Amino acid sequence: MQCPYCREMDSRVVDSRLGAGGTVTWRRRECDACKRRFTTYERVEHQLPVVVKKDGQREPFDRDKVLRSMRVACSKRPVSADALEEQATEVERELGESGEKEISSQAIGERVMERLKRLDDVAYVRFASVYRSFRDIDEFMNEMGKLVRRGDE
């Protein structure tokens, strides 16, 4: 593994641990040349489908993009970073296990909204308002009404 400080290729593993429920291996390494320590993360790479955007453009699935959008929606909300990481990992795992070659960005957005709805209603509404591009206040209020009715049950 290349040292991020001196770019030397030789390093040794000092400590290894499982993280994220056993889906990630955390490794603490020490560079043989400069003796500085750094951390690496190892996870199974699933064969992920290509994302088909609304305009027909295709791009590789980007877990970080999903995580970033969830972080924005949960900004200043009582949702832990670990919970968001877990949900992004779950979306990625689901897509990898689906076996599909292509998936629409709308289908990914729906999966993210599902998870945000379980985590935090305000984050869900924030994400939905951008994702669904409500045309007017009536559509927005209709969605809010569904949330309120769900909360009453």
Which has more pLDDT, 76 or 20?
Answer: 76
| Of 96, 79, 100, 118, nearest in space to 43 by CA | 96
Where are the domains positioned within the chain? 11-43, 50-152
Q: What is the pLDDT of residues 13-33, one digit of tens each?
A: 999 988 767 778 999 999 999
- Confidence (pLDDT) at 28: 95
138 or 87, greater pLDDT: 87
CA distance 25 to 125: 34
Question: Which pLDDT score, from 0 to 100, does residue 77 have?
Answer: 93
Kindly report, residue by residue over 18-75, the tens digit of the pLDDT: 876 777 899 999 999 999 999 998 877 668 899 999 899 999 999 999 999 999 999 9
Please state, as a whole number, how many other Cβ atoms lie within 10 Å of the Cβ of residue 124. Answer: 21
Cα 9 to its chain centre, rounded Å, is 30
Taking alpha carbons only, the member of 38, 35, 89 closest to residue 61 is 89
pTM of the model: 0.62
